[in-house]
Amino acid sequence: MYCDTTYTLTKGDSLAITADYRSLQYYTADGTTGNAYSISLAGSGFTSKTTATAVNGIPAKTTYYLRIPSGTSSLPAIVLLGHRINNVIISKTGAPSMTPVAAAPAPRPTIPTPTPNVALTGFNIQLTNCKVNAGVYTCTATLTPR
């Protein structure tokens, strides 16, 4: 599954961003946990770690690749840059012959919130437009400043 996020710097002129595959952790309903497998920042190729400069007012796209089964319809939680998002529904909107996804179960209280490895804070996230292609989901994530 690919998870796209967009970051737009709103304070300051520019900011050097360093991110790696550990910037996104996921938790599945069966208790499996893991990190994104690789990351692409601002159009770079997929790698384990990358750096880019965010410029005020210009969106910078980050894509995380997660190795989770293609049939996964929801995740109890993901942690993106230290921010926990509960009950993440993997939308199949726009995919042919797909039925709506039911609400995810409540998250397990034992899921830890890891320490962020990138100093970006104050965002909410929403996943939309998830589509499956050859067993891999591609989603759009929108980060909104709080």
pTM: 0.59
Kind and range of the H or E run holding 74: strand 74-80
Where exactly are the structural domains of the chain? 2-145
Number of Cβ within a 10 Å radius of residue 46: 16
Return per-residue pLDDT of the chain as tens, 146 residues: 788 888 888 888 988 888 888 888 999 888 889 998 888 888 888 888 888 888 999 988 888 888 888 788 888 988 988 888 888 887 655 333 333 444 445 444 444 444 444 434 555 666 677 777 766 667 677 766 66
Q: Phi then psi for 23, rounded to 5 degrees? A: -65, -20
